[in-house]
Structure 1
Amino acid sequence: MPEGHVIHRLAEHLNTTFGDRELEFSSPQGRFAVEAASLNGHRIALAEAWGKQLFIDVDLDAPEHIIHIHLGLIGGLKLTPFADPTGAVRLRITNGHTAADLRGPQWCRLITDAERDAAVARLGADPLRPDADPESTWIRVHRSKKSIGALMMDQKLFAGVGNIYRAEVLFRLGLDPRTPGKNLDRGEFDAIWADLVDLMATGVRDGRIDTVRPEHTPEAMHREPREDDHGGEVYVYRRAGQPCHVCGTPVETTVLEGRNLFWCPRCQG
């Protein structure tokens, strides 16, 4: 599932590419045809991300004027030069030169302002939003007996954070992912939040997740670059059994609440 930096990057591209232009909305697949027809010929007022959810506000004078998209595990939204659509395109947005095609989302629906506000209210603080307030997240983490590894995957606490950022931030800070939230002090929580803000902003800028410090890059360590579908250079994510870039200890893995967790038992012991 795409992590929050992907959705924020998409929102930026939609605003830059389509902002302030009359657009064609369609549903080549047909499953969003009625909604797309109501939007056709209108403009995007604002596309914005909250965590892993995308909201596209269209300047339509009707209660339902916001496209609410969650890509889920297999969904994708890609901007490409205009061409005839291929495959099962749920929603197409185009200005005649560029097309944004949505395929396989968990959901794509047209909602009202109130419904958007209700969806956002269920989310935690988003490290990529300048209006984020992590105070309520800290209060809930500090009261919880759940591990910080589990808490960081809870979208009601850390909106937009996924498995990669969870594993990498905890490694970078030397924190055992199995530590109960209530055992963290405020300085440790603030360090987690600050590292998420920095790393995820870099992800938006570069379009990939890179978490290794300069001294641990392939060039600095004279090692081969990482080969993985997710791209980017990381410390522990999907590196089970491989030597830690810092201490050489084999990276360990386990399943935590249905998701694979990766950590270095020495650096995070």
Structure 2
Amino acid sequence: MPEGDTIHRHARNHRDLFVGRNVAASSPQGRFSAGASHINGKRLEAVEAVGKHLFYTFEKRLMLHVHLGLVGSFRTHRTIERPAPSRGTRLVLSAGDAAAYLTGPMKCELLDRIEVHRLKEWLGPDPLDPEADVGEFASNLATRTGPIGAVLLDQDVIAGIGNVWRAELLFLCHIDPDTPANELTSGQVDCLWTHAVTGLQHGVEVGQIETVTPQAIGLPKGTQLRPSDKRYVYKRGGHGCLLCGAEIAVSRHGGRALFYCPQCQDPLKAQ
């Protein structure tokens, strides 16, 4: 599932390409034909990302909500010479030479402002929101008794964290995934929030989730890492930890596989 950094990157790209322009909208698949007809030709006034959600504000108070879900994706084209959208494309937005093709989203719908407000109010703080801070995140964690490995996926606790980032954040902060969320120390909470902010900001810029630096694993700065070595634990089950050499383990939290290092994230070391 695309995580918060990917969604914010889409928002930034779509602001650059479409905001302030009259946007053509269509649904080759047909499942969003009625919605597309309402926004077709309307001026796009704003694009906002909150966690894993995208909100497009058109003139006449029309608001489009997109959630990519597990398999959804946007393909953005910046020239008139582009492939035709596939028959499964849920939505095409275009203006001038630019176009964005949306396929496989969990949500692609028109909402009124009250519905948008309720959805945003339900979401937890977004690390990529300049006005968000660790305080609300800490307060949310304090009400949760479940393991932090599951709680980090709750979008009403922190918005934008998915399966990749939760594993990497827990590793970076040396936190055992089974630790009850409300038993984390203030230092651990601050660590999770700080790495979420800086990590997702980096992800927006580079277009992928990278948590390992060459220097951190004893290599010279500027060394090109293999794709498999750009993350400490995610999808590295059975391989040696890049820091301590212990075998990366896999558990299930929140219904999904969670990768962690039993040595670096040993709860006894946190005491």
Counterpart in 1 of 2:6? 6
Deviation at 1:28, TM superposition (A): 1.5
Identical amino acids, percent of aligned pairs: 38
Counterpart in 2 of 1:144? 144
Measure the CA separation in 2 of the matches of 1:117 and 1:111: 10
Query: Aligned with 1:137: secondary structure?
Result: helix
Counterpart in 2 of 1:58? 58
Cα distance change, pair 48–88 in 1 and its aligned pair in 2 (3 A) = same
Q: Does 1:238 align with 2:235?
A: yes
Counterpart in 2 of 1:109? 109
Counterpart in 1 of 2:227? 226
Counterpart in 2 of 1:39? 39
Deviation at 1:147, TM superposition (A): 1.3
Query: Aligned with 1:171: secondary structure?
Result: helix
Residue deviations 1:34-84 (CA, integer Å, cap 9, x gap)? 22122121121111111101101111x25xx11001111111111113443
Deviation at 1:208, TM superposition (A): 0.4
Counterpart in 2 of 1:266? 263
Q: For the Cα contact (< 8 Å) 1:217–1:233, is it kept in 2?
A: no
Cα distance change, pair 22–217 in 1 and its aligned pair in 2 (3 A) = farther
- Which of 245, 249, 270 aligns to 1:252? It is 249
Question: What code does the residue aligned with 2:91 have?
Answer: L
Cα distance change, pair 223–266 in 1 and its aligned pair in 2 (3 A) = farther
Aligned residue pair count: 262
Counterparts of 1:80-229 in structure 2, within 5 Å, are 80=77, 81-82=79-80, 83=82, 84-216=84-216, 220=220, 225-227=226-228
Cα distance change, pair 182–23 in 1 and its aligned pair in 2 (3 A) = closer
Which residues of structure 1 form unaligned runs of 5+?
none
Which residues of structure 2 form unaligned runs of 5+?
267-271
* CA RMSD of superposed structures (Å): 1.9
Question: What code does the residue aligned with 2:249 have?
Answer: E
TM-score by length of 2: 0.91
Cα distance change, pair 85–144 in 1 and its aligned pair in 2 (3 A) = closer
Measure the CA separation in 1 of the matches of 2:217 and 2:71: 30
Deviation at 1:216, TM superposition (A): 3.9
Query: Aligned with 2:227: secondary structure?
Result: coil
Larger CA deviation: 82-91 vs 193-202: 82-91
Question: What code does the residue aligned with 2:187 have?
Answer: G
TM-score by length of 1: 0.92
Q: For the Cα contact (< 8 Å) 2:153–2:254, is it kept in 1?
A: no
Question: What code does the residue aligned with 2:227 have?
Answer: R
